[in-house]
Amino acid sequence: MSDQKGFVVWMTGLSGSGKSTIAMAMIPKLKARGVNFERLDGDVVRASLTRDLGFTKEDRAMNIERVTFVAKLLSRNNVGCICSFISPYQSVRDSVRSQVTNFIEVYVNAPLEVCEDRDVKGMYKLAREGKIKNFTGISDPFEAPENADVEIKTDGMTVDESAEQLIKYLEENGYIPTLA
């Protein structure tokens, strides 16, 4: 706890790429190291912080804005943040980077076909049928990170391997302690 720094692991990627799953897999690993951290994810923030917001472009921007405020306050007080948001625009991610402490841009990269095939929430089907508009990867662009700090190709790794890759990055950069 005393030898941790604030940081913001920001996972960006298509819906279904594995962002939230990796975040969940990181939780026990961070706890085992005694790290103070929070997971910031759609399911966490939409229960209160952003429950007035829908999925229009404006609402999604405001969603990220509020999350950024929270991540800024946590990270500058030595608390780690594990954030998973599609966040398709480089300019938005750059804006988060400029506001928080120790921003780590993580590109959770899986081919669109794979994400669409997984279709965990049935959203790709609806997007293909035109029932959801402005869906990232189908009817809205996803700007792949130009210089991601970490890239995780979830297509060829297990969830645990993906989470370990991030933990190792945090350890090697001195953000979290190694296991005793």
> Which are the catalytic amino acids?
87
Residue 48 touching a copy of itself (CB under 8 A) = yes
In the set 5, 29, 42, 73, which binds a copy of itself (CB under 8 A)?
Answer: 73
Check: CB of residue 170 under 8 Å from CB of residue 176: yes
Distance of alpha carbon 129 from the chain centroid: 27
Q: What angle do CA 146, 36, 32 make, to 5 degrees?
A: 95
In the set 38, 140, 143, 149, which binds a copy of itself (CB under 8 A)?
Answer: 38
Q: Provide the residue type at 160 as one letter.
A: D
Burial class (CB in 10 A: 0-12, 13-18, 19+), 144: middle
**If you count them, how many residues does the chain have?**
180
Q: Of 68-76, 109-117, 143-151, 159-167, which segment contacts a copy of itself by CB under 8 A?
A: 68-76
Binding to a copy of itself in span 79-138, by CB under 8 A = 79
- Binding-site ranges for a copy of itself (CB under 8 A): 2, 36-38, 45, 48-49, 52, 62, 65-66, 68-70, 73-74, 77-79
